[in-house]
Amino acid sequence: MGEPLEYDVLFGHERIAARVDELAQDIAATGHVQLIMVALLKGSFLFAADLARALHSAGVQVEVDFLHTSSYNGAETGRAQVQIHDMLECDIAGKTVLLVDDILDSGHTLVQVLALLQAKRPARILTCVLLNKLERRVVEITPDFVGFPCPNRYVFGYGMDYEHQHRALPYIAALK
Ligand code: IMP
Ligand code: MG
């Protein structure tokens, strides 16, 4: 057994649920009644599931699709590399896409996924992230919808992992 995990709860389950409902209302207020949600795995799976249901309740029809992304530091370049597994099944050409991720950190993931999606000629892409670590931004990107600003700490829970564990926690915690 390792050391017990020391953490603070940053966002509780009820607070997250209330904010997800508000985000759905804000997205519905753009006037889109149909969207293709493209969620980035694995971290956004719970957020995307809750947001899809909240959008349905807000009167927005949602098709759901996924890309699998992971970031790592390239051994040769020392720079952040993003690996994107394109497994989209929906044809997004001419449609409005809602791109959903758990955390916007350096911005590399979202910028590279946006380029990949733009090449498929959607009518429009809206971006929505649950957490925004503004201080950590390396490339310029401003999401259309943000759940919460996030302090510069490693967070996990509500879909996000710490060493492949803790994704199923109903709240978002930060390591001490
Ligand atoms: P970016 O490409 O640097 O913006 O990183 C975004 C990705 O890094 C997100 O999709 C998350 O999967 C992951 N990430 C960034 N910060 C954290 C964190 O504090 N906890 C868990 N995952 C994180
Ligand atoms: Mg991710």
**pLDDT average, residue stretch 15-31:** 98
**pLDDT average, residue stretch 138-159:** 97
Ligand 1 near 159 CB (within 6 A): no
Token pair recorded at residue 3: 């050391």
Q: Find the 156 Cα to ligand 2 centroid distance in Å.
A: 12
Check pLDDT > 70 for residue 6: yes
Q: Tell me the pLDDT of the chain averaged across its residues.
A: 95
The highest-confidence range among 2-11, 30-39, 66-75, by mean pLDDT, is: 30-39
Q: Find the 44 Cα to ligand 2 centroid distance in Å.
A: 7
Ligand 1 near 156 CB (within 6 A): yes
CA distance 159 to 156: 7
pLDDT tens, residue by residue, 128-144: 999 999 999 999 999 99
Pocket test for ligand 1, best of 160, 166, 176 (most atoms within 8 A of CB): 160
pLDDT tens, residue by residue, 97-110: 999 999 999 999 99
pTM higher than 0.75: yes
Residue bearing the CA closest to ligand 1, atom 3:
106
Q: Identify the residue with better confidence: 36 or 4.
A: 36
Ligand 1 near 70 CB (within 6 A): no
Neighbouring residues of the ion ligand 2, judged by CB less than 5 Å? 43
What does the pLDDT read at residue 79?
Answer: 66
Q: Identify the residue with better confidence: 91 or 81.
A: 91
**Following DSSP, what letter does each residue of 90-140 receive, concatenated?**
S--TTSEEEEEEEEESSSHHHHHHHHHHHTT--SEEEEEEEEE-GGG--S-
